[in-house]
Amino acid sequence: MRNDRLIPGTILVIIGILFLLNNFGAIEFNWWVFLNLWPILLIIGGVNLVFAHNRSQWATIVKIAVLLCGMAILIICGLTRREVGWPVWAYHINRDLNDDDDDTTGRHSVMKIDGNSVYREEYHPGITTATLNIAGGATTYRLNGVTTDLFEATTKEFNMHYNLNTHIDSTSATIDFDMDVHKHGIFNWGHKKHNEADIKLNATPEWEIELQSGASSANFDLSPFKVKRLEIQGGAASYTVKLGQPLAETTVDINSGMASVTLYIPKNAACSINVDTGLSSKTLDGFDKKDDGSYETPGFDKAANKIKISFDALMSDFKVIRY
């Protein structure tokens, strides 16, 4: 009995069925589970290779059993939307030539291996526009709350630190908040410690916000702010963003590899969406599909203020919810 193509063929059939059922609304599947539980696919593939030249009945039973068990775990976790995490491997780097853990080459005097920090930039009256650039992976970013400062961030740092650099002129400000990795041969395993950044912004200026991240998650409540542009570029990531009322034109650009993205927009806001994805599921309730493949809310063309969303991902679970 030839079964060397049984395993990969069955996996493709199962994934295809999941996509089909999800797209027709029969199920609600969390595609993020494939990223968190990817070692299961390695195990299935490894067992298939081990028994590749074994045509006996018991070898076929073993391969089928491993396949069914592995896919059952993926399907159950995806359907129940269970959050499953794997340990993070961190490599600590210290830029100093000495052996201590202090580094005074950045803006802040001490850069810790592990600890908490608070970063602030004072608000100057007259600032009407502001740009926030966030860069760094392996971090949970939360933007939630208003501050009287221009920018405030409270961080939990593990084997990394953050740099804050600001350029201010009379009416505008540019804030760069990025991650720096130390240089020191300390390896750490475990998921109990991870990097976190809780960010607050001033509600007075019009904001342009850019997030560049690798494997990370972000939860941004931007409803109190005047957002002119939001741009997110990431790898394997999970993003939840809540927008407030749009300006004359508020643009949202999201470009990611494997992503779980949920956007909340006001129910009365005019919105258009352009989606370019490979394997994906999308939920766009309250939108009309246009002839060019884009999506719009009713009355979009005549609205004075608009949200324009562009979404590009290889594999995604994409939702736009009107609240």
Residue 181 and residue 60 share a domain: no
69 occurs within a structural domain: yes
- Two tokens at 152? 């405030």
Name the residue with higher pLDDT: 53 or 39.
39
Residue 117 and residue 71 share a domain: no
- Model confidence at 201: pLDDT above 70: yes
Name the residue with higher pLDDT: 264 or 51.
264
Q: How far apart are CA 174 and CA 197, in angstroms?
A: 19
1 occurs within a structural domain: no
Tens digits of per-residue pLDDT, 65-122? Answer: 898 898 888 888 777 654 444 443 333 333 343 444 444 333 433 344 457 899 999 9
66 occurs within a structural domain: yes
Residue 234 and residue 160 share a domain: yes
Residue 202 and residue 106 share a domain: yes
Query: Which residues have a Cβ under 8 Å from the Cβ of 217 and sit 6 or more positions away?
Result: 140, 141, 237, 238, 239
The structural domain count of the chain equals 2
Final residue in a domain of this structure, among 31, 51, 80: 80
- Which residue type, as a one-letter code, is found at position 314? L
Q: CA 146 → CA 94, 155, 197, 199, 265, distances in Å? A: 34, 17, 15, 9, 19
For 272, the domain range is 93-322
Residue 171 and residue 209 share a domain: yes
164 occurs within a structural domain: yes
Asked if 43 and 2 touch (Cβ cutoff 8 Å), the reply is no
Residue 282 and residue 253 share a domain: yes
Residue 252 and residue 148 share a domain: yes
